[in-house]
Amino acid sequence: MTGYGIMDMPAGQRPYEKFERYGESSLSDAELLAVIIRNGQRGRNSLMLAEDVLALCPYREGLCGLYNLSAEQLASVAGIGRVKAIQLKCIAELSKRMAAEKAERYLDFKDPSTIADYYMERLKCEEREMVYCMMLDTRNALIKDLCISIGTVNSSLLSPREVFSAALEYHAVSIVLVHNHPSGDPAPSPEDIRVTKKMYDAGELIGIRLLDHIILGKNTYKSIVRY
């Protein structure tokens, strides 16, 4: 079957030409995906397929939905298939890693905004709460960060044993906790505050200080120790 691609679209609607005239920032989410998808199928061009992909996850607007769709779900869209689904998932992962690599250069553990930037692309579209522990050395440099909990931040589920066993393994002298709120609102809940106090007290006892606990929302954050 002959594909119906971007070059079959009217000249004024072609994302390639729009890119060349106005730059990549001028392209919509669907147009960016259409460039990657390249070819459509009979009767449906690549832009239409891109719109179908974005509609697969209606509760997550725009490209955030792409993070939460599996390759199998993407491949279920007529005209996408296995190869294009894998390409789309790999591009989503690349965007996360590029954002984290760029933000890592500016990490400053006295400035919570730099920590939020480091995790934002990775966590802002997650549907579940994920807790990361950042482990620091005597110079306040990052040794390692690990995801230590997926699902919820709850004092009965997230124990100091989990947090500080990792910190001891990597010989950390201080830690920072980071987690996301899938609702998009970073305001700490009473449980968030209880967990933070519990972790702070445990850290003081064993000599590994909790420097901060940062909550990420949708392109925003709250630092509990500065709340």
The reported pLDDT for the residue numbered 10 is 67
pLDDT digits (tens, 9 = 90+) for 13-55: 788 888 888 888 888 888 988 888 888 777 788 888 898 888 8
Judge whether 1 lies within some domain.
no
Q: Does 32 share its domain with 71?
A: yes
Q: Are residues 74 and 119 in the same domain?
A: no
Q: Is residue 151 part of a domain?
A: yes
Question: What's the pLDDT score for residue 1?
Answer: 42
In a domain, 198, yes or no: yes
Confidence of residue 131 (pLDDT cuts 50, 70, 90): very high
Lowest mean pLDDT among 62-66, 86-90, 103-107: 62-66
Are 120 and 190 found together in one domain?
Answer: yes
User: Tokens representing 62?
Assistant: 């725009």
CATH number, domain containing residue 177: 3.40.140.10
- pTM flag (> 0.75): no
In a domain, residue 152? The reply is yes
| 44 domain-assigned | yes
Domain boundary residue, one of 29, 64, 96: 96
> Of the candidates 26, 25, 2, 29, which has an alpha carbon nearest to the alpha carbon of residue 12?
26
* 75 and 187 inside one domain: no
More confident of the two residues 210 and 158: 210
Domain boundary among 96, 129, 160: 96
Same domain assignment for residues 75 and 173: no
Hey, how many other C-beta atoms are within 10 angstroms of the C-beta on 97? 11
> Structural domain of residue 90, as residue ranges?
6-96
What is the rounded distance in angstroms from the CA atom of residue 63 to the CA atom of residue 88? Answer: 11
Pair (121, 212) in one structural domain:
yes
pLDDT at 186: 94
Residues 129, 92 share a domain: no
pLDDT digits (tens, 9 = 90+) for 151-177: 866 544 688 988 999 999 999 999 999
Query: 43 — alpha (psi -120 to 50), left (phi > 0) or beta?
Result: left
Question: What is the per-residue pLDDT across 194-205, written as a single tens digit (0 to 9) for each?
Answer: 999 999 999 999
CA gap 30, 154 in Å, rounded: 38
Mean pLDDT of 211-221: 94
Strand pairing report for 129-136 and 142-151: antiparallel
- What total of structural domains would you count in the chain? 2
Mean residue pLDDT of the chain comes to 86
* The predicted structure's pLDDT at residue 227: 44
Q: Of the candidates 76, 96, 116, which is a domain's last residue?
A: 96
Instruction: Give the span between the Cα atoms of 64 and 59, in whole angstroms.
Output: 10
Per the domain annotation, does 175 fall within a domain? yes
Among residues 74, 24, 16, 69, the alpha carbon closest in space to that of 49 is found at: 74
Q: Are residues 160 and 221 in the same domain?
A: yes
**What's the confidence (pLDDT) of residue 26?**
87
Q: Other CB atoms closer than 10 Å to residue 218's CB: what's the count? A: 17
Residue 6's pLDDT is what? Answer: 62
Q: Are residues 119 and 62 in the same domain?
A: no
**CA 99 – CA 96 distance, rounded (Å):** 5
Of 11-20, 115-124, 181-190, the poorest mean pLDDT is in: 11-20
